[in-house]
Structure 1
Amino acid sequence: MSLLRSGSLAEAPYAYAASVPGGSRLLFMAGACPLRPDGSTAGAGDRGEQARVCLDNLVQALDDAGAELTDVVSTRVLVVAETRADLVAVWDVVSERFGAHDVPSTLVGVSLLGYPDQLVEIEAVAAVAD
């Protein structure tokens, strides 16, 4: 997989596209939620903590599917947000966790997510060479 940059578009803290080698197995991950193993929601009221738990759960789900965070080719980050700062707080956690593997991402403010007290959900697509 390779991350593709654009010299023609505005500079962004992520790649504009990802290219997946032929023969790769694509994994469309369910949205990672900030749930503890007992099903309760972690970090009520704390978007940053919820983002960390979502990423931990995403890494576990990827591992269970035979993949790693570096196999992710794109993400969609959903945040119950009232201000742009709410979005940035979550993005900072996501960006730090992905580090140099800054895959194409979409950051979206939403009004509500599915679990009680849930403020963050992270969807991902990964590609694993077979």
Structure 2
Amino acid sequence: MQSDIRFLRAGHYPGLTDQVDYAYAAVVTAPRTVFTAGACPLDAEGATVAPGDYAGQARQVMRNLEAALAGAGASLSDVVKTTVFVVSPRQGDLVAAWDVVREAFGGHDAPSTLLGVAALGYTDQLVEVEAVAVVR
């Protein structure tokens, strides 16, 4: 059975602005769904990489997310939703992390939520990304 994934993009729905660079929603009918825990900026030894560097941590997070998805038989192109957590009240810090996440996905435009939060679970951790993927 093939999965059916359709992204609802900006500009196609009454009342929703077309001035955003993301899909508003994803509609999925699929045989298998993968839910990831939040990918953290940890190296293979469990140390937090790039303390104080939003973009550096986001790069490690995306490497770890790709590895977790691969372990579940999925890839970034199977992701239908992400949530990006960034420890900061400043929009510029959120954007620094988001730019790395967005680049990792390339032309794959899954809906995402970007949040500034007070703290995350590991010492010096600034970025975390969780994802839902549908394996086609």
Smaller-chain TM-score bracket: over 0.9
2:49 to 20, 23, 42: 42
What is the TM-score with the length of structure 2 in the denominator?
0.90
CA RMSD of aligned residues (A): 1.0
**Residue aligning to 1:16:** 24
**Residue aligning to 1:68:** 75
Structure 1 residue 114 corresponds to structure 2 residue 118? no
**Residue aligning to 2:32:** 25
Q: Secondary structure at the match of 1:16?
A: strand
Structure 1 residue 92 corresponds to structure 2 residue 96? no
Higher deviation after alignment, 50-59 or 95-104: 95-104
Deviations 1:13-34 (A, max 9, x none): 111111212x421111000000
Contact 2:22 2:111 in 1 (8 A): yes
Percent identity over the alignment is 56
Residue 20 of structure 1 aligns to which amino acid in structure 2?
A: V
Runs of 4+ aligned residues of structure 1 deviating over 2 Å after TM superposition are: none
Contact 2:10 2:22 in 1 (8 A): no
* Cα shift at 1:10: 1.3
Structure 2 residues without counterparts, runs of 5 or longer: none
* Cα shift at 1:92: 0.8
Give the whole-Å Cα distance in 1 for the aligned partners of 2:63 and 2:9: 27
Residue 2 of structure 1 aligns to which amino acid in structure 2?
A: R
Structure 1 residue 52 corresponds to structure 2 residue 59? yes
Number of residue pairs matched by the alignment: 128
Deviations 1:60-102 (A, max 9, x none): 0000000010000000000001311011111111111112111
